[in-house]
Amino acid sequence: MTMNVDLLLVDINPPEATDWDLLRDLRSAGGSIPAIVLSAIPPSTSPVREFGPLAVLHKPFPMEALLRLVRPLAARGDRLARPSV
């Protein structure tokens, strides 16, 4: 199965923070996918510096904040609207 991914929404759940591992694995496999990190607890600055996400949104956040981040990516192409699986 092949998937075209334009953006990852990653919900970090400390202390497990396994989604940091997901980003680490993607990067080590040569992937470079923009990510927006969502978290109820502000993440430590170390992984934020390591991965350089487009943004870190602290829950709860207004949906408009997420849409402001996603709209420019969607404007660059329509792949977000039609995922390829």
pLDDT tens digits, one per residue of 11-68:
887 666 577 777 787 777 776 778 888 988 877 788 888 888 888 999 999 999 999 9
Each domain of the chain, given as residue ranges in start order, spans: 8-75
Cα separation of 30 and 8, whole Å?
15
This prediction's pTM: 0.70
Query: 67 and 51 in contact (C-beta within 8 Å)?
Result: no
Phi then psi for residue 8, to 5 deg, are -110, 130
- Measured over the CA atoms of residue 23, residue 27, residue 29 and residue 34, the dihedral's sign is positive
Q: Which CATH superfamily is domain 8-75 in?
A: Response regulator (3.40.50.2300)
- pLDDT-derived band at 81, boundaries 50, 70, 90: very low
